[in-house]
Amino acid sequence: MKNHEEKLKKTAKRLGLTPDQIPRNIAIIMDGNGRWARKKGLPRVEGHRQGGKTVETIALRCVDFGIESLTLYSFSIENWKRPKTEVNALMHLYIQYLIEIRPMLMKNNVKLIHLGRLSGLPDAVQNELGKTMEITGVNTGMILALALNYGGRTEIVDATQKIAQEYKSGKLQLGDIDEQCISRHLYTAGLAEPDLLIRTANEMRISNFLLWQISYSEFYVTKTFWPDFKKAALEKAILTYAKRARRFGTIK
């Protein structure tokens, strides 16, 4: 935590801000890979490949900035409806990515966690995801949360079923079921809620992402396609966030 604070102070000074103006926890809906590729006359898979490189770039920048957690919407449950060839190519890219990113995660003390349903993912993806989480589980720096085979409504359904089972078995009483109880049963249990939610490619919707967790997150939408989202774009989002007054239902 001390390391986070030191980096936050340096980032704040460089941007002309105070540390409390910088979001500690950021979530990103990464959009526009396919459109980026089409604009350049490339196959859609090349957009996804470049998007994977951007993930590493932005993750490293967030580590440098002192961000505590970065949550990325990578593959939704609804994405299975895409053409089979594209889905298969994406799963192959995930396998490569989960292997290749390990040295970077270990070097930068980043812990990878998974949000979503493991069931439904190809065995090879599950295996490499499990290995990467196990290897990085000892790390104490930034948390990189990968939402893979994720859906916000599905998350709430899964949490509700767990709570119902515990109530049925007597582990929970009716009065025990409150907001904190629900939060503990979500995929994101133990992960701080996002201060800032970024969406690329100028899309103005949530797309079933972190429906419970973003109740008081600040939204930032940019026209930039995800493969082109670099350090300057991240800093612009942070500077915009810094101008917001977060009221949480109160008056300031």
| DSSP secondary structure letter of residue 218 | E
Supply the DSSP string of 222-234, one letter for each residue. Answer: -SS-GGG--HHHH
Is residue 250's pLDDT more than 90? no
* Options 3.20.20.70, 3.40.50.1000, 3.40.1180.10, 2.40.30.10; CATH of 2-153+193-241: 3.40.1180.10
248 vs 240: CA distance, rounded Å: 18
74 vs 94: CA distance, rounded Å: 10
Residues 195-205, mean pLDDT to the nearest whole number: 97
pLDDT at 249: 60
Distances from the Cα of 191 to the Cα of 69, 152, 179, 195, angstroms: 8, 15, 15, 12
Q: Which amino acid is at 189?
A: A
> Can you give the residue ranges of every domain in the chain?
2-153+193-241
pLDDT at 145: 98
For residue 209, the number of C-alpha atoms closer than 13 Å in the C-beta half-sphere is 26
Mean pLDDT of the chain: 95
pLDDT at 14: 96
Residue 220, SS3 per DSSP = strand
pLDDT digits (tens, 9 = 90+) for 165-198: 999 999 999 999 999 999 999 999 999 999 999 9
pLDDT digits (tens, 9 = 90+) for 33-76: 999 999 999 999 999 999 999 999 999 999 999 999 999 999 99
- Of 55, 54, 61, 63, residue with least CA distance to 110: 63
Alpha-carbon radius of gyration of the chain: 18
- Which helix (H) or strand (E) segment holds residue 196: the answer is strand 196-199
Share of the chain above pLDDT 90, in %: 94
Active site residues: 31, 79
pLDDT digits (tens, 9 = 90+) for 220-234: 999 999 999 999 999
Is residue 120's pLDDT more than 60? yes
Confidence band for 4, pLDDT divided at 50, 70 and 90: confident
Confidence band for 244, pLDDT divided at 50, 70 and 90: confident
57 vs 62: CA distance, rounded Å: 9
pLDDT digits (tens, 9 = 90+) for 122-142: 999 999 999 999 999 999 999
Confidence band for 3, pLDDT divided at 50, 70 and 90: confident
